[in-house]
Structure 1
Amino acid sequence: MSGNRKPLELPQWPQYGDDERDGLIRALEQGQWWRMGGSEVDSFEREFGEFHGSPYTLAVTNGTHALELALQVLGVGPGTEVIVPAFTFISSSQAAQRLGAVAVPVDVDPETYCIDVAAVEAAITPRTKAIMPVHMAGHFPDMDALEKLSAASGVPLIQDAAHGHGGAWQGKRVGELGSVAAFSFQNGKLMTAGEGGAVTFPDRETYEEAFLRHSCGRPRTDRKYFHQTSGSNFRMNEFSAAVLRAQLRRYPSQLATREQRAPLLSSLLARIPGVVPQTHDPRVTSHPHYMAMFRVPGLAEEKRNALVDDLIERGLPAFVAFRAIYRSDGFWESGAPDETVEDVARRCPNTEAINNDTIWLHHRTLLGSEEQMHQVAEIVADALASA
């Protein structure tokens, strides 16, 4: 890089201001700090649902619980299977495994890093209870093909939308796609209260069952401890909801900025010899850009890891790609398919490659200026050349 360049000072994350402070004070002073007595969670659910085109929204403790709850109301449990992408954060599989189900990993598309529809179709068995497409880095898999497969097989979809806030497929927002979707508000996510999650539902019946199960099986107005279903305490508190309401208000502006910066950074990265950015399918009409992901095909995992360390030293919020879920010991503890690691690896060649050679930059990178996008690309090019 040129010695004349000023230091790279990308926007920090999380971002917050007076809206968050005011929300916390409002929640404090209402005198009721849990959802059954306060109004912040109810208000956030309404506002988040409206933003995503969902008729029913339930706020919960975190994104992993959002997946677990959504799977449970779809009937996932012992003796069932859930098809998940082999390339994803391990919560996608662990949510099913915690319910006693078997998580079945399938390969992903080598360009979008999203679940491969043909691989899903090949994995469906009479025990398959759900198919979980993950909106990887804010990108969507082929939702048209998945919806057709779901209708033909009778197996429902559950969208893992932990990266999908504000996303849309062919003009349809996440909540308008006709399937349950689970979101995360963990500290690094596109909206955050440190932790938190939400589930959107296309119908009232499923929502009402989820509400019971997220509150220990207890109806809203119960005063006699009559628990109608099994469940757990997945209720969001009022303080988190107050912060998330403020985060939601600032979100459209952040989304618009990332939508402007992402094509520029992707084009700049694509000019670097050996770098292949994640492909953007034009059917994704609103892309949240949770990550700026790119591959360096042929780069061994050890060298990729060293390259990420170098990028961090140069001021970039860089990370190695998620490890293939079947290459983590935790995946095999319970609810794993009757296969070996190498069996799964052989049928997931794209995941194997992505596991080794992919790097991602946190979405705060894309909140920087156009000049900073050029600086980011220069840093990547220089670090790769040095490697």
Structure 2
Amino acid sequence: MSAAPKAAPDLPAWPRFDDDERAGLIRALEQGQWWRMGGGEVDAFEAEFARHHGSEHGLAVTNGTHALELALQVLGVGPGSEVIVPAFTFISSSQAAQRLGAVAVPVDVYPDTYNIDVAAAAAAISPRTSAIMPVHMAGEVADMDALAKLSADSGVALVQDAAHAHGARWQGRRIGELGSVAAFSFQNGKLMTAGEGGFVVFPDAELREIGFLRHSCGRPRTDRLYFHQTSGSNFRMNEFSAAVLRAQLRRLDGQIDTREQRWPVLSGLLAEIPGVVPQGRDPRCDRRSHYMAMFRIPGIAEEERNRLVDTLQARGLPAFAAFRAIYRSDGFWETGAPDLTVEELARRCPHADAISADGIWLHHRTLLATEAQIHDVAEIVADVVTGSPARR
């Protein structure tokens, strides 16, 4: 008689909340002003989050996609521009550029960290390139030393897509101390959340002021005569979201501490499973926020990977297929796509193409579990992977 399958551990729920969020919502409610121009929650959150990330120049916005779009617009990206993006990322990275009329140019990523390949980015620079957008995949900070040098040598600005990197550090420096604009997300699954929300950290006050104007329809804070100084849109965060995020920020570091303790355990156990390769880590990323617990099964067919994800979910784990390479989604080609075919981009981006087919990730709440539960998770993954017909 075969043993019963391992039961799924009772993993922590997400989002996490307590009386701090409740108190914040009541505080926002009772102040009597529910938008940022009249209340105080957004202003307070901007100061707290920016300072936490090593900056004095932050702007809260409606969501992470808008944060990227605003960051690019502030740097002058628009029609006729090109923005270099990693091919392996959530499609907001490219869509933010495409919404501004720019062309998104996908380049390959490293096969271990899944972050943008700096040499590939350098090779893609053209006279029309206005920005390079490294994505700190799963909270693993991209090679910001090499990227900063590339930016300085080429004169092309960097825009950090830090949607996964709340609280992360690169050689002791926080995201806001790396000298370039950075955009964060507070979507429901992120490391801090108010359901939706976003944030832009600027390296100086002048760029932040341009960002403020454009996020508020081009209108200065003190304007009473509807004199709009720039074009823009309404990307303003509301007071209730900011109140929730202030509470979320207070527990961020403790949660990252726990994830940093659990990931070496889980990755070590995963690495013992034949055919499984956990996401690598650059030691210069000395504090990783772990938005996802990612691993690959190199050589597996995409259809079989998808079946494994379905089985892991059926066994009670919060498992997901890796992002699809952006050029393999129809939406990428609607506007602002390069004059290349899918096949040509796949040849240029072999690692991104492979990871999108063989990658799996577990939600970061997995890494908030106990160490005993982490062992249970790894046992289920091993059981499912080794039991797959493709692995036998």
Indicate the TM-score class for this superposition, using the shorter chain for normalisation: over 0.9
* C-alpha distance in 1 between matches for 2:170 and 2:281: 12
Maintained 8 Å contact 2:8/2:315: no
Query: Cα offset for 1:74?
Result: 0.4
| Cross-structure match for 1:17 | 18
* C-alpha distance in 2 between matches for 1:141 and 1:213: 28
* C-alpha distance in 2 between matches for 1:173 and 1:201: 13
| Cross-structure match for 1:230 | 231
Residue 223 of structure 2 aligns to a residue in which SS?
coil
**For residues 247-258 of structure 1, what are the structure 2 equivalents within 5 Å?**
247-258=248-259
Q: Could you tell me which amino acid in structure 1 is paired with residue 387 of structure 2?
A: S
Q: Could you tell me which amino acid in structure 1 is paired with residue 161 of structure 2?
A: D
| Cross-structure match for 2:84 | 83
Residue 32 of structure 1 aligns to a residue in which SS?
coil
| Cross-structure match for 1:366 | 367
Query: Cα offset for 1:152?
Result: 0.2
| Cross-structure match for 2:341 | 340
Query: Cα offset for 1:352?
Result: 1.1
Deviations 1:111-148 (A, max 9, x none): 00000000000000010000000000001121100000
Q: Structure 1, unaligned stretches of length 5 or more?
A: none
| Cross-structure match for 2:286 | 285
| Cross-structure match for 2:352 | 351
**For residues 143-292 of structure 1, what are the structure 2 equivalents within 5 Å?**
143-292=144-293
| Cross-structure match for 1:124 | 125
Q: Structure 2, unaligned stretches of length 5 or more?
A: none
Maintained 8 Å contact 2:274/2:386: no
Q: 1:351 to 1:5 in 2, by over 3 A?
A: closer
* C-alpha distance in 2 between matches for 1:107 and 1:6: 38
Deviations 1:24-63 (A, max 9, x none): 0000000000000000000000100111001200000000
Relative to the length of structure 1, the TM-score reads: 0.99
Maintained 8 Å contact 2:78/2:101: yes
| Cross-structure match for 2:72 | 71
Query: Cα offset for 1:355?
Result: 1.1
Maintained 8 Å contact 2:6/2:379: no
Query: Cα offset for 1:250?
Result: 1.1
Maintained 8 Å contact 2:64/2:197: yes
Tell me the C-alpha RMSD between the 2 structures. Answer: 1.0
Q: 1:345 to 1:16 in 2, by over 3 A?
A: same
Maintained 8 Å contact 2:8/2:377: no
* C-alpha distance in 2 between matches for 1:295 and 1:179: 31
| Cross-structure match for 1:61 | 62
* C-alpha distance in 2 between matches for 1:331 and 1:4: 41
Query: Cα offset for 1:3?
Result: 4.6
Maintained 8 Å contact 2:262/2:371: yes
Maintained 8 Å contact 2:72/2:97: yes
Q: Could you tell me which amino acid in structure 2 is paired with residue 105 of structure 1?
A: P
* C-alpha distance in 1 between matches for 2:3 and 2:164: 35
Query: Cα offset for 1:242?
Result: 0.1
| Cross-structure match for 1:102 | 103
Q: Could you tell me which amino acid in structure 2 is paired with residue 79 of structure 1?
A: G
Query: Cα offset for 1:7?
Result: 4.3
* C-alpha distance in 2 between matches for 1:3 and 1:306: 21
* C-alpha distance in 1 between matches for 2:52 and 2:217: 28
Deviations 1:2-27 (A, max 9, x none): 65966410000000010000000000
* C-alpha distance in 1 between matches for 2:294 and 2:75: 32
Relative to the length of structure 2, the TM-score reads: 0.98
Residue 284 of structure 1 aligns to a residue in which SS?
coil
* C-alpha distance in 2 between matches for 1:302 and 1:20: 41
Query: Cα offset for 1:279?
Result: 0.2
1:319 matched to 2:320? The reply is yes
* C-alpha distance in 1 between matches for 2:5 and 2:311: 20
* C-alpha distance in 2 between matches for 1:280 and 1:343: 29
Residue 157 of structure 2 aligns to a residue in which SS?
coil
Q: How high is the sequence identity, in percent, across the aligned residues?
A: 75
Residue 286 of structure 2 aligns to a residue in which SS?
strand
* C-alpha distance in 2 between matches for 1:5 and 1:270: 19
1:138 matched to 2:139? The reply is yes
| Cross-structure match for 2:41 | 40
Q: Could you tell me which amino acid in structure 1 is paired with residue 250 of structure 2?
A: R
Deviations 1:143-181 (A, max 9, x none): 100000000000010000000000000000000000000
* C-alpha distance in 2 between matches for 1:57 and 1:129: 22
* C-alpha distance in 1 between matches for 2:49 and 2:8: 37
Residue 182 of structure 1 aligns to a residue in which SS?
strand
* C-alpha distance in 2 between matches for 1:20 and 1:221: 30
| Cross-structure match for 2:383 | 382
Residue 150 of structure 2 aligns to a residue in which SS?
helix
1:8 matched to 2:9? The reply is yes
